[in-house]
Amino acid sequence: MCSLIIRVFCSFSALFLIVLLFYEYVKEHIDEFIHVSMDEHKTCFKKTIQKMFGMSKAVAERSNVGSKEVESVLPLQTTVSK
């Protein structure tokens, strides 16, 4: 029972530390975001959009390279019922 309590406490402590570090990271970046000029926001936005389109284009090209069109060698058969 005691070792279970210690494990839970250690897990809780580790989780608390992770949340605290994440909070500090976000707080720093929010300050940076707020204090940046509008020109820098525009530049960053343009770069982000270009990266997104570049990545989606690269993914599309990679998926097209791997997929080859396969033609059926079986004759098409149709049945007509009366």
Whether 4 maps to a domain, the answer reads no
Whether 39 maps to a domain, the answer reads yes
pTM for the model? 0.40
Q: Kindly compute the dihedral angle of the four CA atoms of residues 56, 62, 63, 64, in this order, to the nearest 10 degrees.
A: 110
Q: Give the confidence band of 19 by pLDDT, cuts at 50, 70, 90.
A: very high
pLDDT at 68: 57
Structure confidence by residue, pLDDT tens digits, 41-68: 999 999 988 988 888 877 777 776 655 5
Whether 74 maps to a domain, the answer reads no
pLDDT at 71: 58
Whether 48 maps to a domain, the answer reads yes
Q: Is the pLDDT of residue 8 over 70?
A: yes
Backbone torsions φ then ψ of 47, nearest 5 degrees: -65, -40
Whether 37 maps to a domain, the answer reads yes
Structure tokens at 76: 């098409």
Whether 13 maps to a domain, the answer reads no
- Between the alpha carbon of residue 12 and those of residues 3, 21, 35, the distances in Å are 14, 14, 35
Task: Find, among 50, 45, 15, the residue nearest to 33 by Cα.
Answer: 45
Whether 10 maps to a domain, the answer reads no
Total count of domains within the chain? 1
Which domain, by its residues, includes 30? 20-52
